[in-house]
């Protein structure tokens, strides 16, 4: 299982995440985010990581940027992937040629005791996952908060997520914390997990103890699942 620590803004936070066992680091290029980092600062952090950079995959988080803007920043910083967290079309993901994946925030139809992913959402999932041509992650699954583009701390619908995890290798996000990550991994069994606000001391700055505890608890849950098979 992959673990992504998102919203990295300092070299120390990047080193903490890597030393704790993160597989992916996320850098947010959306200017309105409290976790925004200028591309030049991101590039500097990645250079200073030296050999540590080889241990992780770097992900740039974008909101409604053009393909040209995203490609230029990926090239400037050396990040491997772009996470499209806005209202981007499938064609935008495809135009990145395997370098991009979509963040999905899906609504539900509520029945008596269960929630069902809407047919429109199912179609969107299929389209965006198809644009990745089998590459993981197929997408990132976040909680739906109107007017927000992620990082809200609101827990996603794990019941829906679990049904999707049988079909797609996606990153589970949305309100994950050291306290609930074990349950999330056990219930959903995702390809990977993503956390930003859940391991922060203040927006944009990571809490070292929370980062380490989050990764430890995620790995323990993963191990328990493997042992039970």
Which of the following is catalytic: 13, 142, 157, 194? 142
Shortest CA distance to 132 belongs to which of 219, 55, 191, 216? 191
First to last CA, the chain: 15
Here the tokens at position 123 are 């179609």
Read off the tokens for 194: 């993503």
Q: How many domains does the chain have?
A: 1
Domain that holds residue 109: 2-228
- 42: annotated active-site residue: no
* pLDDT score of 129: 94
The 3-class secondary structure across 35-90, one letter per residue, is CECCHHHHHHHHHHHHHHHHHCEEEEEECCCCHHHHHHHHHHHCCCEEEECCCCCH
C-alpha to C-alpha distance for 82 and 52, rounded to whole angstroms: 20
CA distance 121 to 34: 29
pLDDT on residue 106: 63
Residue 52 belongs to a domain with what CATH number?
3.20.20.70
- Which of 73, 81, 126, 125 shows the shortest CA–CA distance to 99? 81
227 is known as an active-site residue: no
Are the C-beta atoms of residues 189 and 141 closer than 8 Å to each other? no
Distance in angstroms (rounded) separating the CA atoms of residues 195 and 3: 8
Pick from 158, 61, 60: nearest CA to 106: 158
What pLDDT, on the 0 to 100 scale, is given for residue 153?
59
DSSP codes joined into one string, 87-141: S--HHHHHHTTTSEEEEEE--EEE-SS-EEE-HHHHHHHHHHHHTTTTPSP-EEE
Active-site annotation holder among 6, 13, 42, 157:
6
Which mean pLDDT values do the consecutive 10-residue runs of the chain (229 residues) have? 98 98 98 97 98 97 98 98 95 96 70 49 87 94 59 71 93 95 96 97 96 98 89
Q: What is the pLDDT of residue 152?
A: 52
């Amino acid at each position: 299982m992959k673990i992504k620590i998102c919203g990295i803004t300092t070299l120390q936070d990047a080193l903490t995440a890597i030393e704790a066992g993160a597989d992916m680091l996320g850098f947010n290029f959306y200017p309105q985010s409290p976790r925004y980092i200028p591309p030049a600062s991101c590039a500097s952090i990645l250079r200073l990581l030296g050999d540590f950079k080889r241990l992780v995959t770097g992900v740039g988080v974008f909101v409604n940027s053009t393909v040209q803007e995203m490609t230029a920043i990926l090239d400037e910083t050396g990040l491997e992937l772009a996470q499209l967290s806005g209202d981007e079309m499938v064609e935008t993901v495809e135009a990145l040629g395997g370098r991009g994946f979509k963040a999905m925030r899906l609504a539900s139809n509520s029945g008596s005791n269960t929630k069902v992913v809407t047919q429109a959402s199912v179609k969107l999932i299929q389209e965006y996952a198809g644009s990745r041509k089998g590459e993981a992650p197929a997408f990132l699954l976040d909680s739906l908060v109107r007017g927000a583009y992620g990082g809200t701390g609101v827990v996603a619908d794990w019941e829906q997520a679990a049904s999707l995890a049988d079909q797609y290798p996606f990153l589970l996000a949305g309100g994950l914390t050291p306290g609930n990550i074990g349950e999330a991994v056990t219930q959903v069994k995702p390809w990977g997990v993503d956390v930003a606000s859940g391991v922060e001391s203040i927006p944009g700055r990571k809490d070292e103890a929370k980062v380490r505890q989050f990764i430890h608890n995620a790995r323990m849950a993963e191990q328990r699942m493997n042992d039970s098979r």
